[in-house]
Amino acid sequence: MVFVKRGDVFMARPDGSRQVPITRNGTPGRPYFSPSIADNGTIVALRGIHLHSFRPNGRRIIRPRQWAVLGPNLWTEPFTVDLSPNGRVVATDNALYSTAYDPRRSENRPSRTALFVDFVDFRTNGAKGESDSFYDYAGPSWVGSNSVLTTSYGLFNAQILQVRVGRRSRGTEFYRDPARDPNTGTNAIEMADVEMTRRRDKFAVERRPVQGANSLRDGTIQIFRTGSPTTNSEPRCTIGPGRRIDRAPDPSWSPDGRTLYWHEIGRGIFSSRVTSAAGCGLRPRRIVGGALSPDLSRANVPRRR
């Protein structure tokens, strides 16, 4: 498991023991964020607008790469990163900003114009494709080796979408929550940060009402049994409300798909076994205090350095 604590990337066993720092230069003002680890031990993480890559012993694989396009009137910003199962391709969700004149203030102001996902071989900086910006794609999470799940905040479209690696690929509907606003017919539920098991039999996603849900305690993590087709997936059990789950709890499954990990704001990283019993047999327990953004793989934890 990799995670962030005190601004640095750490690696540990799934129970939180044997914590080994991978980086040592993270700070509260410039922390690492969104770490991801492949089964071969390759680790990537963002820091500011740069992508960093490491081996489990902390040695860098390549020099940090700028992961943003910067221009006077058009620029991008990366939010999260997820490393493909083979440890080669990174999927990042990016905001595209442009400068537009604001007549209310009589000045040019930045405006976000799109959210999209791109796919890049981080070692060679070779582009592998990108999504279009028809939907606001957020939080890519790999399913297999050629597609990711993302979530969208659109009021009318499906909340969970699947995007395949390819040029200008458009997301297809994966799951849509049936709840609707009785007055407008728009989505009554928003979802974020989806993660599926390797067996693709379950997925977890942050869920909260669109209206009147501004508190951390309103958020939940909903666990679904994957349907066939996926649009027929069934909700199985819920973690929360009342557990300080924000819109990016970074759920991550153990490689065998039996245990779910996530973080709660101000509390740390939690885990729980997920069973077929009623309520999934959920018994959350904190395994790393003061940490966030867990990601699991089959890689071994190195000795302390």
pLDDT of 304 reads 62
DSSP assignment letter at 131: E
Alpha-carbon dihedral 235, 241, 243, 244, rounded to 10 degrees: 100
What's the Rg (C-alpha) of the chain?
A: 19
Distance CA 77, CA 68 (A): 5
Give the phi and the psi of residue 278 in degrees, each rounded to 5: -55, 130
Tell me the mean pLDDT per 10 residues along the chain, length 305: 97 96 95 97 97 96 95 90 95 91 76 92 95 95 95 93 94 96 93 97 96 79 97 96 94 98 97 94 97 96 72
Here the tokens at position 224 are 């679904």
Task: Give exposure, 60-98, as e/b (b: 16+ Cβ within 10 Å).
Answer: eeeeebebbeeeeeebbbbbbbbbbeebbbbbbbbbbbe
Q: Comparing C-alpha atoms, which of 185, 183, 177 is closest to residue 208?
A: 177
pLDDT of residue 111: 83
Q: What is the pLDDT of residue 149?
A: 98
